[in-house]
Amino acid sequence: MAMFCAIQAVLHFSNLPVLVMLTTIAFFAEGALHVIAKLTPLSRMEIVRLILLGLACAGILSADHRLGVPGLVSSILAMLFTGAASALRKLTNKHFSSHTAKFTAESKWLVIMGNVVAIAWLLGPFNKERTLQIDTQHAPLLALNAFSTAAAALLGTSIFFPRDTQYNDQQPRIVDASLQTISNVMMLMITTAITGCYSVLVVRRSYTSWYQVWCFLFAIVCVGSRAIEGVYLATPGRRSNGGVRYQPLERAQSLAHDGLDTSSFVDEAGIESLETSSVSPWRLRISTSLAGFIVGILWVPYLYLNFRHDVVRNDVMVDSQYQPIISREVVISMYNEPTDDVAQLIRNLRNMTQLSSTRVTIYIKDNDADAEQVKQQTKADDVVMLPNIGREGETYINHMLTRWDSLAAETIFLQAHIHNPREFYARLNRFYQPSRTGFLSLGWSGVVCDIEDCSDEYFWRDEAHIFPEIQARINNSATQSNALLNYKGQFIVSAARIRGIDKNIYDDLREAFVDEESWAHQEPYLQGREDSMSQPLFGYTMERIWNVLFQCSDMQVAWKCPSLISGWRFGGDVGDCQCFDS
């Protein structure tokens, strides 16, 4: 289960360095189960350590600005299951050590069976055209997943939680277990730095706030402090400040004589007495120094790259000469949604300070609706009936074309049924800047694609190459290689941006919706997929292209903008999710 959740977390968690940092949750789960199973004696120090570790883990997670439900759930479950598996394995080693040797053979059979299933799927008569297209784009990541999955299956544990070393069915020595924990911590820090250095250099780079960095380092201290004490106790010939030499057992006895609890220094795997270390002090010092040096040379470039912000803004074509009469307008695309819900939406918007006097126009595509009744019930300024063609995409373009010379300075385009209403209102309140906002998406954020071959994880693909065509028509001299996708059909755009591009672009896009003989309703574009005038397949492309159309595909917006769930970025500002006209 931990393996499955970990793979899902890698695929869905947007901030990979933070995902690696969340491995500290596994240490927390392991430590908690050790206390419950009495592998670790319950003491005040252990309780405080676990509480502080839990708070540090919560700090790492809560401060992330790209949280999403799939990544959030899968990452937490993956780490909890990993920690539980490690604790249960140690419990098994303590009570049933003679049976653990059988696991290796079972793991090999598991890996072999997985390979057989994969080969059968590749060679079998299954529809895998789309899946293979996506997989080939992420070949290195998938190869890493396959390798780590096979390694974890063969080892019977995680890379960060190697199984305890055993010799002749004997429990490991305390120093071996303590050194193993320290090794795990060092590996975690190295992996975090390597992942961070890589992910800050990709198109949609990662970002870790100082708050998350400090929480992670504090969690590392909580995890490693007990292991370091164990190494200190178990190292022969360890000198105290007074120059007196103590053996480990003598050290424990002296602590007991002083009334201190020595049981917390016992190995987590259940060792009942302290043993001397098989590692000499000089080898321990050399290995520790080398590991610290590696961590240092990796973390310095990681932190530098992480907090370096290269601001690159593309040239934007806006109509700075246009003088709007209306300051702000809300345009709502409605079909047969409950009128009371639409009325509540309008009231909520007008209760906001910056939208208290905004004009509201409703476009209805339900032939059975009573426009006058809807106007009275919703208190909208205008209600317009339209043919049921093209859904909200055609509605928005229709408004832009018919109101070309009377557009509001800023128009808020919405569907009658708001997606993610709680997060929607929070984003609108937090980021919308009247008289400054040029384009602000009010839906999902941060999905980037190659503009020449654009696709996303929802099996949508720009087969007609509309994205590069529109980009070329807007600014043929631009070197835009990536596109930022828009979702949910809810956004704010200024008249200067709407009018900044050729009006014929909007005419052509609307023609693709309303003309039954257009390429958008014919093969080869449809490829046998369902399409109708009221629910056109092209509508999915139109939903995603608004950022390109209004020239707001900056990669700065792609990585800075928080997800709807996170709502805000530590160190962020109101410009994170939008493009200003000036």
Domain contains 409: yes
What was the pLDDT predicted at 354?
92
Q: What is the pLDDT of residue 315?
A: 80
pLDDT greater than 80 at residue 570: yes
pLDDT-derived band at 151 (thresholds 50, 70, 90) equals: low
335 & 301 share domain: no
502 pLDDT higher than 90: yes
Q: Are residues 293 and 425 in the same domain?
A: no
- Residue 369 has a CB neighbour count (10 Å cut-off) of 17
Neighbours of 402 (CB within 10 A): 11
Q: Is residue 317 part of a domain?
A: no
The CA distances from residue 40 to 277, 295, 356, in Å, are 20, 29, 61
Residues 366 and 485 in one domain: yes
- 247 lies in the same domain as 372: no
Residue 165 — very low, low, confident or very high, per pLDDT cuts 50/70/90? Answer: very low
Distance between CA 24 and CA 79 in Å, rounded?
8
**C-alpha–C-alpha distance, residues 23 and 4, integer Å:** 15
What does the chain come to in residues?
582
CB atoms within 10 A of CB 460: 16
pLDDT at 574: 94
Judge whether residue 489 has pLDDT over 80: yes
Give me the pLDDT at residue 139, please: 62
Lowest mean pLDDT, pick from 110-119, 171-180, 455-464, 520-529 = 171-180
Query: Would the pLDDT of 528 be above 80?
Result: yes
Show Cβ contacts of residue 340 under 8 Å, excluding neighbours closer than 6 positions: 377
- Give 189 or 480, the one with higher predicted confidence: 189
Domain count, the chain: 2
Claim to verify: residue 409 and residue 499 sit in the same structural domain: yes
Given a cut of 50, whether residue 171 has pLDDT beyond it is no
User: Highest mean pLDDT: which of 117-131, 283-297, 533-547?
Assistant: 533-547
What percent of the residues of the chain are helix, what percent strand, and what percent coil, each to the nearest 5?
A: 55, 10, 40
**Residue 183 counted as domain residue:** yes
pLDDT digits (tens, 9 = 90+) for 12-33: 898 999 999 999 999 999 999 9
Q: Which of 307, 342, 363 is the last residue of a domain?
A: 307
Q: Pick the residue with more confidence: 278 or 520?
A: 520
Instruction: Name the residue range of residue 225's domain.
Output: 2-307
Tokens linked to 368: 């059975």
pLDDT tier at 142 (50, 70, 90 boundaries)?
A: low
Q: Are residues 362 and 408 in the same domain?
A: yes
Which amino acid appears at position 155 of this protein?
A: L
Neighbouring-strand partners of residue 455: 461
Q: What is the pLDDT of residue 129?
A: 43
End position of a domain, from candidates 276, 307, 338: 307
Q: Which segment of 210-219, 304-313, 400-409 scores lowest on mean pLDDT?
A: 304-313
pLDDT digits (tens, 9 = 90+) for 194-236: 999 999 888 778 999 999 999 999 999 999 887 776 666 555 5
Higher pLDDT, 175 or 120: 120
What letter represents residue 251's amino acid? R
- In which residue are the tokens 């059909």 written? 489
CA distance 95 to 37: 12
Q: Residues 293-297: contacts with CB within 8 Å, 24+ apart? A: 294/186, 294/190, 295/186, 295/189, 295/190, 295/193
Give how far Cα 226 sits from Cα of 53, 258, 305, 505, Å: 12, 20, 32, 65
Tokens at 50, concatenated: 């676990």
Identify which of 377, 387, 378, 399 has the alpha carbon closest to the alpha carbon of residue 326: 399
β-strand pairing of 245-246 with 238-239: antiparallel
Q: Is residue 312 part of a domain?
A: no
pLDDT category at 259 given cuts 50, 70, 90 is: very low
The one-letter code for the residue type at 281 is P
pLDDT reported for residue 172: 47
* Domain shared by 24 and 131, yes or no: yes
Helix axes 174-199, 210-234, angle to 10 degrees: 160
Model pLDDT for residues 329-356, shown as the tens digit of each residue: 999 999 999 999 999 999 999 999 999 9
**C-alpha 238: how far from chain center:** 46
190 domain-assigned: yes
Q: Are residues 220 and 349 in the same domain?
A: no
pTM of the model as a whole: 0.81
Averaged pLDDT, 294-315: 86
Nearest one of 406, 562, 413, 556 to 490, comparing CA atoms: 413
What was the pLDDT predicted at 105? 56
Question: Would you say 330 and 305 are in contact if contact means Cβ atoms under 8 Å apart?
Answer: no
Assess whether 294 and 333 both reside in one domain.
no
Residue 318 in domain: no
Using DSSP, state whether 483 is helix, strand or coil.
Answer: strand
* Cβ neighbours, 10 Å, residue 538: 23
249-271 as b/e, with b when 16 or more CB fall inside 10 Å? eebbeeeeeeeeebebbbbbbbb
Among 37-41, 226-230, 323-327, 551-555, whose mean pLDDT is lowest?
226-230
Q: If you average pLDDT over every residue of the chain, what do you get?
A: 83
Query: Are 44 and 111 part of one and the same domain?
Result: yes
Question: Between 479 and 107, where is the model more confident?
Answer: 479
**pLDDT band with cut points at 50, 70 and 90 for residue 92:** confident
Check pLDDT > 60 for residue 181: yes
Asked whether residue 206 falls in the same domain as residue 280, the answer is yes
Q: pLDDT value at position 177?
A: 66
How high is the pLDDT of residue 247? 43
Q: How far is CA 62 from CA 22, 208, 381, in A?
A: 11, 12, 42
Residue 378: Cβ-neighbour burial (10 angstroms; 0-12, 13-18, 19+): buried
Q: Are 378 and 456 in contact (CB under 8 A)?
A: no
**Inside any domain, residue 567:** yes
Shared-domain flag, residues 133 and 26: yes
Q: Is residue 507 situated within a structural domain?
A: yes
